[in-house]
A and B are shown apart, each in its own frame.
Chain A
């Protein structure tokens, strides 16, 4: 092994090791954040969980509610998954200082054809992905897609979306640089044609270049590709793009209950039972009881996982009746605010220690009461989400806090509450008149 190879291996290990170290530290932070949420038992069987994950995340079932973007997204998704095969070889080569170790291992036997087939598959998909990515950039910047024009996407979320797309384009360019440079060099040095369809074609055009230049192109492609993958890995937990990983656990934990069911509040249930029946023994509860959620960690861990799984596609918001008619509520913003709040608190804890508080809360400082009051609980957002996110659960938990802890409700609701208390109906009618309609039967 020559000196240069040793340097390369060390560089590789440093780059990959460093990236994984930084990324895992951040992933751990996210994992801890999710675990800070309130406990919630999700009453589903293993089979239901597996089925949800395979259909919704792996099979992209809900994406296909909108055929065109779903098809574009599918190209990138398949391409991303398949490209990981080539990454296996890059990793082995990187660690061992080899060059195309798998190809050379298979050379001359039946697996060589399979290898070439896989590379061709990756390259064709990558080329398709290149054009799809450009279409996605146009959808963000030029076509006026309503759900990409909303106020909550201004600033960082907009940059985040475009940055990911730019990464993708760069990644693909590096793949083709790597394979084309290598094809040309192999052709010139050994008279050997790998048989790669696309990079072989580009390689043929490059054979006029000196070997040194070809070597440079190939190595730039190889290292560039690797650097982009590592950049992605480190960037992912800070980005909306995290959905490529979290879509899987999040759909695995899809809530199995009918969408119309909202969570019971046992503490209040017991209290009310003991009011009705003084002999009823209220079960002991540990810790103080807070009604609903004022801040992020009052939410269930599933709601927090939801927030990190959101890729800000805005299908929820595009379907929201309140948003469509110009109200401030946007279910996507609910998810983004929840994540932002967790990240802000995490940053605060890092700077000022674990007991950090900033006298802010999710309710009020991030999500306004006007937004919460606008929700009709229609479940359109829940229905639309391609990765089983439930913005409605968060809205309802915040509403509970707003109404029961802060006693801040619109006057019409206060009237409704007192009618329900006094007349057992939300309107002001006497309970004794409940059957008056029967007088008009005949």
Chain B
């Protein structure tokens, strides 16, 4: 299949309107590891012939790290710019692969005049599975032990615990839960703009602690649904020199791999 990445401005010029905008996010756009998740999810959208578009170079950072670090000015500048872009195109529905983008567009953009139906890609995949549009070929992950690391901005922040698990369950693999999961899941250490700075002085890094918790169930795969978590847990696994035994994989990549997209 020849995969396409339809860009909003070009679609509009051709008089077409997408059903959903895929919000890539800065990590998904620039981080090499997160780019692979963006590509995997775009392939799924292509395969299911979903009428989607990306904003391309018109997308800007949502402002999340600035707002959470305490810099409201930079947040407002970026967010208002994004709201203007989205409203200008009359966007109704947005899907995000990043829980931080998802949370801020869904919960904090409405006060700036940005009202959209916003869903996270775990929810989108769950819906597509439930509707029977997305079918998962078993086999690749059969018998693999997969554990899921809850992202704070999906779980506690927005109460989304089941959607990513439903996606993993569709793989015919063994979903093994660690003790600290769902509401008690430990943060990967990157939220609140920590991604861009060193940990404050302490006994150990947060991602190290979290990785140890995840490794307790001897997983083959640690599934994540957030680009920050992906980076932090990947680093944690490398720190334990277990990168050959344990793979850290986004749920979109699991689906795209299972279906050999």
Contact = CB atoms under 8 A, between A and B. Distances in A.
Interface stretch (A51-59, A75-83, A213-221, A427-435): A427-435
Contacts of B204: 325-326
Interface string A402-442: 11100001101101110011001111010111111110111
A396 B158 contact: no
Interface in A373-410: 373-380, 382-383, 396, 399-404, 409-410
Contact of A322 (B103, B111, B200): B200
B190 interface: yes
Interface in A231-276: 257-262, 264-265, 268-269, 271-273, 275-276
Interface string A297-310: 00000000000000
B87 interface: no
Contacts of A258: 103, 106-107, 157-159
B67 interface: yes
Contacts of A431: 57, 60
Interface stretch (B71-79, B127-135, B169-177, B246-254): B71-79
A432 to B, nearest CB: 6
A328 interface: yes
Interface in A123-152: none
B7 interface: yes
Contacts of B199: 325, 327, 374
B80 A427 contact: no
Interface stretch (B11-19, B137-145, B181-189): B181-189
Contact of B35 (A262, A325, A424, A437): A437
Contact of A435 (B7, B194, B208): B7
A292 interface: yes
Contact of B5 (A401, A416, A438): A438
A325 B196 contact: no
Contact of A425 (B30, B39, B80, B108): B30
B107 A403 contact: no
Contacts of A412: 196-198
B203 A441 contact: no
B202 A321 contact: no
A29 interface: no
Given A376-B191, A416-B193, A435-B5, A321 B210 contact: yes
Contacts of B157: 258-260, 379
Contact of A383 (B103, B106, B111, B156): B156
Given A261-B107, A329-B200, A375-B192, A441 B205 contact: no
A382 B111 CA distance: 23
A72 interface: no
A273 B84 CA distance: 11
B186 A262 contact: no
B186 A380 contact: yes
Contacts of A329: 200
Bin the interface of chain A by size: 35 or more
A425 B29 contact: yes
Interface residues of B, number: 76
Contacts of A265: 72, 76
A404 B67 CA distance: 11
A441 B42 contact: yes
A244 B67 CA distance: 35
Interface string A320-337: 011011111100000000
B72 A378 contact: no
A257 B203 contact: no
A328 B200 contact: yes
Interface in B203-260: 203-206, 208-210
B48 interface: no
B196 A321 contact: no
A229 interface: no
A291 interface: yes
A365 interface: no
Given A262-B67, A417-B66, A272 B76 contact: yes
Nearest to A418: B74
Given A321-B187, A376-B187, A272 B80 contact: yes
A319 interface: yes
A94 B66 CA distance: 62
**By DSSP majority rule, is chain A's interface helix, strand, loop, or mixed?**
helix
B70 to A, nearest CB: 3
A413 B57 contact: no
Contacts of B196: 412-413, 415-416, 426
Nearest to B202: A326
Contact of B70 (A272, A396, A421): A396
Contacts of A373: 197, 200
Contacts of A40: none
Given A376-B192, A435-B54, A272 B73 contact: yes
A193 interface: no
B43 interface: yes
A370 interface: yes
A276 B70 contact: no
Given A260-B157, A374-B200, A378-B156, A426 B26 contact: yes
Contacts of B2: 442
Contacts of B31: 427
B112 interface: yes
A417 B70 CA distance: 11
A426 B70 CA distance: 14
Nearest to B74: A420
Given A269-B112, A413-B196, A435-B29, 5 more contacts: A378-B156, A378-B191, A417-B71, A417-B74, A425-B60
17 contacts: A258-B106, A292-B70, A374-B199, A374-B200, A383-B156, A383-B184, A400-B72, A403-B71, A409-B70, A415-B196, A417-B69, A417-B71, A420-B78, A434-B30, A434-B56, A435-B57, A437-B28
Interface of B: 2-5, 7, 24, 26, 28-31, 35, 38-39, 42-43, 54, 56-57, 59-61, 63, 65-74, 76-78, 80-81, 84, 103, 106-108, 111-112, 152-153, 156-159, 183-184, 186-187, 189-206, 208-210
